[in-house]
Structure 1
Amino acid sequence: MDLILTSQDDAASLNIREKLLAMDGWKKIGMFQNFPVYRNEKYYLVHLKIQKIYAENIDEHIRERLGIEFNNIIVASKHRSAAEIKSLTVHPIGNWGPARFGGREHTVVHTNPHLMTQALRILKKNNTLSEFSVSFEATHHGPYLETPTFFIEIGSNEEEWCNDKAGEILAKTILELEERKYMPALGIGGGHYVPRITDVALEYRISFGHMIPSYAVEYIDESVVKMACEKSDNCRHAYIHRKGLKSEQKKKVIGILEKLGIEVINSKNLEKL
């Protein structure tokens, strides 16, 4: 069983929750934070009062309060962008540098690369909204959890968050999701939406875990990259978007990976889907 988290403060989260409950046979099994808890054959569905990115250790609280067990957490959420790009996104969580939006500084959370990358692929398959892009986002924000977690989001403003079709696409994607195991790897380089890493995930047999954008390279060191590998199914490979890094950034990244014995791969090393 896995856990889906939604929250009351988030219009997109409420949208996705409503569509999930309308799509499948759910059974009420209890209460959490004064909201009903549901389950179906694959998932528990838990709704929060508090902001998800600040819900530190909520996995532990849910287990203690409800007496349930789950292997992964999928967080249905809104995505906010100053550019107001219409988007459907997937990303792991944690902070390469300071913890400005929940979580712990210089700490990433376990993710399931196989489940998360498959979520991106199914989201791409299910997307019928031509004006919405589908992509990964780099690792960012909280909360800190011990359970493998990723966010799946609608962006980027109130109109998109409440878009019924977008909510249906994300709900359908979550319900269809099945883990597909390929070689786990870190993704490194590029902007926040890591476009090259997204393209590689959609074309090749690879499972991306944590993703380090170019703007976060200044924060990383050997210890945090080692942690990112361990929390990405103990991956021993990394894909670098070389054009997305400056020469000094590439030198730093490759030096860290060599010290850790992490093999750098490119698309020539990968089988197509």
Structure 2
Amino acid sequence: MVVLVVATTKDPASIGPAAAFLAMPGWSPGPPIAEGMESFTNGNVRLLKHEHSIIEEDNLDQRWQEATGEPVSEVIFLSKHTAVSNRPALTVHPIGVPHLRDDETPPHGGTPGWAAIPNPRIGPLLRLMQKIAAEQGLVPEFEITLEATHHYKHAHHVLRKGLGLEDGNAVGSWQGNSEKVLLGIGGGHYAPRHMDIVNKDGVWVGHLLSGYSLPMETPSQINGKTSGEVAGMWKHSIKVSYEATKAAFPGGEVIAHLDH
């Protein structure tokens, strides 16, 4: 089993970290899986570079296995991050758009109503980024944070563990302190209150569903009184995210942390 790291030459925040990877010793050229793609190997890590948007190439794990015979255990996507605040940030997040209906088109890729199995490295990677950022004097200028579950067309059929690792300035292992797994429900896209739980208790990180991933429809009213359940995709979003989180951490205790 190999780890597939995906970068795009169209994104400086993707190709920069890829170049840093390749500057390390031990790399050798690998086989291309399609025209316009390059690959490199180092131990059980495979770095794949392509020339398209990070959300345009689909099924890269399956395509890699078909081309090389190597099964892929996890996929890590390197990409830029853009925020309305324009504050520099380094973020990591699970992948999926579980809140969308089948007839909706995801604006940034993905399969409607679907959530990837969250990568168990999300928590350890976040804590490692926090440590390095502090040592390099990037804090508080840079925000080091989780993002809510969102996007990536690549993961259309990725049933293995996937995550997005994003650089907001256009630049493990299963180590944890408990067997509890966080399923974040509610709050904003950057999940500050969910972050508090991750940092304080050292829990694993599962899916994080911000408020917009919990769409609710007002139930009907009869004679001025509410009748029926609250409709919308919120229940489905929680269900598939819980199931994916549970699958990523067999034997772990899933803890729902609610924000607003």
**Class of the TM-score when normalised by the shorter of the 2 chains:** 0.7 to 0.9
Q: How does 1:98-109 map to 2 (within 5 A)?
A: 98=104, 99-109=106-116
CA distance in 2, matches of 1:6, 1:238: 33
The structural deviation recorded for 1:236 is 5.1
Aligned to 2:173: 178
- Structure with greater proportional helix content: 1
Q: 1:154 aligns with which of 147, 150, 167?
A: 167
Tell me the CA shift for residue 240 of structure 1: 2.2
Question: Equivalent of 2:62, from 44, 56, 60?
Answer: 60
Deviation, 1:82, is 2.4
Query: Does residue 241 of structure 2 align to residue 228 of structure 1?
Result: yes
1:124 aligns with 2:130: yes
Please say if residues 56 and 103 of structure 1, whose CA atoms lie closer than 8 Å, have aligned partners that are also in contact.
no
CA distance in 2, matches of 1:82, 1:223: 29
- Match of 1:238? 255
Q: How does 1:1-273 map to 2 (within 5 A)?
A: 1-33=2-34, 34-95=36-97, 96-97=99-100, 98=104, 99-112=106-119, 114-127=120-133, 128=136, 129-130=138-139, 131-143=141-153, 144=156, 145-155=158-168, 160-162=169-171, 177-180=172-175, 182-218=179-215, 220-234=233-247, 237-242=254-259, 245=260
Residues 142 and 61 of structure 1: CA distance in aligned 2, closer, same or farther (over 3 Å): same
Displacement, 1:224?
A: 3.1
Give the drift of 1:211: 0.5
2:147 corresponds to which letter in structure 1? E
Distance across 2 between alignment mates of 1:216 and 1:224: 7
Query: What runs of 5+ residues in structure 2 fail to find an aligned partner?
Result: 216-231
**Partner SS for 1:233:** helix
Letter in 2 for 1:116: I
Q: How many Å apart are 1:56 and its aligned residue?
A: 2.4
Aligned-residue Cα RMSD (Å) equals: 1.9
The number of aligned residues is 224
Larger radius of gyration: 2
Measure the CA separation in 1 of the matches of 2:21 and 2:83: 25
Q: 1:75 to 1:24 in 2, by over 3 A?
A: farther
Distance 2:214 2:45 in 1: 36
Indicate the percent of aligned positions where both proteins have the same amino acid: 26
Residue aligned with 1:32, SS? coil
TM value normalised by structure 1: 0.76
Distance in 1 (CA, whole Å) between partners of 2:52 and 2:236 is 31
Letter in 2 for 1:200: I
CA deviations on 1:104-138 (whole Å, 9 max, x unpaired) are 112112222x3111111111111121211100000
TM-score w.r.t. the length of structure 2 is 0.79
- Counterpart residue type for residue 109 of structure 1: A
Show structure 1 runs of 5+ residues with no match.
163-176, 246-273
Q: Does the residue aligned with 1:84 lie in a helix, a strand or coil?
A: coil
Residues in 2 aligned to 1:4 and 1:203: alpha-carbon distance in whole angstroms: 29
Q: How far 1:238 moved relative to its partner? A: 3.2
Residues 203-240 of structure 1: CA deviation (Å, up to 9, x unaligned): 21311111001222215443332211221133652332
